[in-house]
Structure 1
Amino acid sequence: MTFQKLVSQCHEIISTYPNAQIGIAIIDGVQSFYHQEKAVFRAASTIKIPILLASYLYLYSKIDDIAVIHDRLIVEGAGVIPFLTGKLPFTYRNLMELMIIVSDNTASNALLYANTMEKVNQLMKYIGCEESKIERYFMDENAVLKGLDNSTTAKDMILMLQQIGESNSILNDEQRKDARRILGNQQFEDMLPAYTFDEEIHYYHKTGGLTGVDHDVAIIEYQDKKLYVAVLTQGWEDGFTGKKCIAEIGKVIADYLKS
């Protein structure tokens, strides 16, 4: 399958969901496909990627020290920390792992607090993310009611993933390798990887979801091929159709990689 065939099939999929907003960015070397890549979406848990990047920058000197988790940052939703019993010491690296692998909201809040919202936003601007911002902690519904939210675009998410997938001035090679390890252990596989069981295709990714919102952003590798993919969607009336749309795009990408 050629890259142009991949693009054509993505357009066909998009056309079957006319009532949803869909933003896509796919980068394969010098080839690229964009669709509403600058459209702003509620970021959901994809905004945990810049928190991960910031943690390597600002917390790296104490990454294996015991982390501080203030009681007011402990929230439910995705994750496991609020449901564990006893006093469980976590290192900052553990929190980074929990934040990505099971999308733990308490771990994410603790890391956002430790890094500060200001520094994470400054880092995104430095990378070149024009429309991404963090305005609230996770599960802070009062902030949402006040009009504060976290937002991003497909184009910005690609820029963030490239800090992990390519040599750069933000992360060193050791940090990039560790970030790939964490993203590669992602437990939510019901979107981009959903329609393939090929263990030779490797996904380093982060999903995100809110009511009416489904996202998946990834570095996808197969043999000597590497793609950067961001699929952001919103406007769904149920919790299934958005995931199905992204899974269909993921199937086309898998077919392209193996062709």
Structure 2
Amino acid sequence: MPDTARITGSAYRRVLLKISGEALMGDQGYGLHPPTVERIAREVRTVAQMGVEVCMVIGGGNIFRGLQGSAQGMERTTADYMGMLATVMNALAMQAALEKLGQFCRVQSAIPMDQVCEPYIRRRAVRHLEKGRVVIFAAGTGNPYFTTDTAATLRASEMGCGAIFMGKNGTDGVYDRDPALHDDAVRYDRVSYDEVLRKNLRVMDASAIALARDNKLPIVVFSLDAPGGFRSILAGEGTATVVGG
């Protein structure tokens, strides 16, 4: 199989894009904003057209977040399963947007629901990617007490991805403090896994960072706000922070 990603100028042949559920809300306070979903789908479609194999994990916080339900008195395991179902809804919305643009896509869920999407099967997912399909991994790891950050790192490791790309809203990388609250916040160009954990820089949760470190999997944090940002970062342009080493 030719290394098409090198031909098109990307340093990566296969990547995982992780975005939050809130990224799909647009300016709304809840749910899905179809124009925003379509805009992100166009970003993914553009990268797939470069020859890069793309898989995705999308959070569910725009619909239901397990930790919030637990904090309000709901039993944690039930709340987490509800959060996993929210990620399936987001994955199906993204699949619909991608297919509307002509991009073949599959959703694989860690919780079997055969009438809605495929079950997660690693070898089948790899085959989809090899055929140029975008694969969206839904329902987290299928287990409570694990976030979609951990699911993203796990799936990226299983798929043999070259990096995890963390698409953020309102920030173009990792800062030493919240840039929205501190004018003197300093952005890192590169930062180590251990420093992220030590300084609690909130790139991902601690379990996800530790798993990425153990598998030597870089995490590239960039802004989803600018059109073409995902493609630019893959082409070695734009502004981002690389977590690794």
Common fold by TM > 0.5: no
* Structure having the larger proportion of residues in helix: 1
Instruction: Give me the TM-score of the superposition, normalised by structure 2.
Output: 0.32
Whose relative contact order is higher, 1 or 2, with alpha carbons under 8 Å and at least 6 apart? 1
